[in-house]
Amino acid sequence: MWTALVALAPLAAASWWVRPGKWRQVLLLAASYAFYAVFGVSSLAVLLASSLLNFGCGAFIRARPIAGRLWLGIAANVSLLGFFKYLPPAAAAFEAPLAVELARVALPIGMSFWTFQALSYLFDQYREEDLRPSLLEFCLYMGFGPTVLSGPICRLPDMLPQFQHRPPFSWSAAGAAARRIWLGLFMTSLARILGGGIRGGHGLDFGFAQPAFALHASGVWILAIGYGFQLFFDFAGYTHLAIGAAQLVGFQPPENFNRPYLSTSPSVFWTRWHMSLSFWIRDYVFLPLASARRGIFWRNFSLLSSMVIFGLWHKATAPFIAWGAYNGALLVLHRQWQAAAIRFSWDPPPAFWEPFSWVVTFFSICAGWILFRAASLKQAGEMLTRLVRPADYALPVLPAELTLLVLSLALAYFALDSLRLLAGRLSWSSGGPVELKAACYAVMTYVIFFNGVKPQGFAYFQF
């Protein structure tokens, strides 16, 4: 992957000196397709087929925006995604020759992301948005190199003007993009350290591989919190890489994370975590579903259903469905709590309530990561059961090395304001103490080069 990126960098850089319009788009699309082909020519063929299919569906809906045509487009996309993502695991449970062949079908990397981009385009056409991209522009929207692998999930109204117009080149903007890429490499390196341990062999992978009966409440909390940060460093770090790469060629994809672990309620958390998908689910699933009927029951049902779909988007397995339902239940409980507070005019002092809300939110979200990471619903259930047994808290915990690693990184995250302090308040882009900036870059460089990132290891590549 890194070899392909280095080889294609001159081609992408040349887009700055090509006149805005068709030829710049051709150059960017060629670079994007060449990069994506590294992960399999067959995957590129599926991406191209999906792009052509959805371009045609969009024109079909635009000609007459009725629900029937929209549902045909939705069915086509869900069927294509289902064939590659959901059918092979289901077929693996059978021994018939056809099932064996279907189980070997590989999911094109990033398909879940660019399929949702295609669906948002169809929804916007149904809503009669003024969107008339050329085929070239639409293919670039679907296969744009920096975002094609794992998002952020883009929307055509935001990207189309950027495809059609080129901003003036700025060395300061290029420097900021490069620093963002460096920060992304640093964060993904931290994720790898959490997974494998400082010396190797005693990281989170080791902890989750232990039999559930060998774990105790304190150890389960360490694994839950540790995995929450591992996933954050991995996916948010990858997002920094993607957005930084896009900024280097003059584009600004949507942001995906905004200090999620400082949230004081589940509702706030889901406006800060995987924001491009959260807002997609909100705009195209929850709001249409919730507006179909009136009543608090239906609204809560819509919220719960939306989060189950959120879980299914990752994988159609019991742990992911349970993870979606769990977070949906948290959102419903939070809404009910808000309604009760309004009804009884209860307004606790912020000095007490905000820290308390943060603690409850943080540990509730982290408990849910057990469902996300566990190999089975049985393992998740056994681990979560430990958390509600008071006697288990007095028993031994995981190796001290892993416990210290998780707690140190968690404390560093909160102390540095989710690394925004590192990138913002230390003023890396301008001003700030030179010695402090140099020390930070030295630490980051050491972590990156001595704990190098393996591209195939990005967590969200599997989705």
Question: Does residue 39 have a pLDDT over 50?
Answer: yes
Cα torsion at 41, 314, 276, 287 (round to 10°)?
Answer: 130
Distances in whole angstroms, Cα of residue 377 to Cα of each of 103, 380, 393: 22, 5, 22
Question: Does residue 20 have a pLDDT over 70?
Answer: no
Q: Are residues 234 and 315 in the same domain?
A: yes
- Residue 418: CB atoms within 10 A of its CB come to 19
- The contacts found for 297-304 with CB under 8 angstroms, 24 or more apart, are 299/335, 300/332, 300/335, 300/336, 303/328, 303/331, 303/332, 303/335, 304/328, 304/329, 304/331, 304/332
pLDDT above 90: percentage of residues in the chain: 60
Question: Does residue 268 have a pLDDT over 50?
Answer: yes
Q: Are residues 87 and 196 in the same domain?
A: no
Establish if 424 belongs to a structural domain. Answer: yes
Which residues are CB-neighbours of 40 under 8 A, at least 6 positions away?
A: 106, 108, 109
Closest by CA position to 173, among listed 237, 116, 249: 249
pLDDT above 70: percentage of residues in the chain: 86
Mean pLDDT of 375-390: 90
Q: Are residues 289 and 237 in the same domain?
A: yes
Closest by CA position to 43, among listed 148, 147, 155, 134: 148
Domain C-terminal end among 166, 190, 219: 166
At 153, is the pLDDT very low, low, confident or very high (cuts 50, 70, 90)?
A: very high
Please indicate whether residue 185 or residue 362 has the higher confidence score (pLDDT): 362
Q: Are residues 223 and 363 in the same domain?
A: yes
Q: Would you say the C-alpha torsion 89, 330, 413, 181 has a positive or negative sign? A: positive
How far is residue 313's CA from residue 40's CA, in Å, rounded to a whole number?
Answer: 22
Position of tokens 């925004």? Answer: 420
Q: Are residues 195 and 110 in the same domain?
A: no
Q: What is the pLDDT of residue 334?
A: 94
Number of alpha helices (DSSP H) and beta strands (DSSP E) in the chain: 22, 0
Q: What is the pLDDT of residue 95?
A: 83
| Chain-centre distance for alpha carbon 441 | 26
Q: Which amino acid is at 279?
A: F
- Tell me if 306 sits within 8 A of 328, measured CB to CB: yes
Q: Are residues 298 and 409 in the same domain?
A: yes
At 446, is the pLDDT very low, low, confident or very high (cuts 50, 70, 90)?
A: low
How far is residue 461's CA from residue 59's CA, in Å, rounded to a whole number?
Answer: 31
To the nearest whole number, what is the mean pLDDT of the chain? 87
Position of tokens 């996916």? Answer: 235
At 456, is the pLDDT very low, low, confident or very high (cuts 50, 70, 90)?
A: very low
- Tell me if 216 sits within 8 A of 397, measured CB to CB: yes
Establish if 6 belongs to a structural domain. Answer: no
Q: Are residues 355 and 383 in the same domain?
A: yes
Q: What is the pLDDT of residue 157?
A: 96
pLDDT tens digits, 424-444: 545 544 445 554 555 565 566
Distances in whole angstroms, Cα of residue 414 to Cα of each of 145, 210, 408, 438: 33, 29, 10, 22
In this structure, what DSSP letter does residue 459 have? Answer: G
At 370, is the pLDDT very low, low, confident or very high (cuts 50, 70, 90)?
A: very high
Q: Are residues 103 and 203 in the same domain?
A: no
Q: Write the DSSP string, 45-71.
A: HHHHHHHHHHHHHHHHHHHS--HHHHH
Q: What is the pLDDT of residue 431?
A: 45
Domain C-terminal end among 115, 141, 166: 166
Q: What is the pLDDT of residue 435?
A: 46
In this structure, what DSSP letter does residue 249 have? Answer: T
Q: Which helix or strand (DSSP H or E) is residue 117 part of?
A: helix 111-126
Establish if 254 belongs to a structural domain. Answer: yes
At 416, is the pLDDT very low, low, confident or very high (cuts 50, 70, 90)?
A: confident
CA 373, 263, 425: angle at the middle one, nearest 5?
110
Establish if 154 belongs to a structural domain. Answer: yes
Establish if 412 belongs to a structural domain. Answer: yes
Q: Would you say the C-alpha torsion 274, 275, 281, 287 has a positive or negative sign? A: positive
When mean pLDDT is compared over 11-15, 84-88, 89-93, 450-454, the highest value belongs to: 84-88
Mean pLDDT of 29-54: 95
Q: What is the pLDDT of residue 440?
A: 64
Establish if 428 belongs to a structural domain. Answer: yes
How far is residue 289's CA from residue 383's CA, in Å, rounded to a whole number?
Answer: 34
Radius of gyration of the chain (CA): 23
Q: Would you say the C-alpha torsion 347, 351, 355, 356 has a positive or negative sign? A: negative
Domain C-terminal end among 166, 195, 219: 166
SS3 90: helix
Question: Does residue 393 have a pLDDT over 80?
Answer: no
In this structure, what DSSP letter does residue 86 have? Answer: I
At 348, is the pLDDT very low, low, confident or very high (cuts 50, 70, 90)?
A: confident
Which residue segment(s) compose the domain that 297 sits in?
A: 172-462
First and final CA of the chain: distance in angstroms?
Answer: 18
- Tell me if 177 sits within 8 A of 33, measured CB to CB: no
Distances in whole angstroms, Cα of residue 162 to Cα of each of 19, 132, 156, 178, 328: 13, 14, 10, 20, 35
Q: Are residues 80 and 221 in the same domain?
A: no
Q: Are residues 239 and 326 in the same domain?
A: yes
Q: What is the pLDDT of residue 447?
A: 63
Q: Are residues 148 and 177 in the same domain?
A: no
Counting the structural domains of the chain, the total is 2
pLDDT tens digits, 299-336: 999 999 999 999 999 999 999 999 999 999 999 999 99
Establish if 427 belongs to a structural domain. Answer: yes
Please indicate whether residue 236 or residue 99 has the higher confidence score (pLDDT): 236
Establish if 158 belongs to a structural domain. Answer: yes
Q: Are residues 89 and 177 in the same domain?
A: no
- The contacts found for 35-40 with CB under 8 angstroms, 24 or more apart, are 35/4, 35/5, 35/8, 35/145, 35/148, 36/110, 36/143, 36/145, 36/148, 36/149, 38/1, 38/4, 39/1, 39/108, 39/109, 39/149, 40/106, 40/108, 40/109
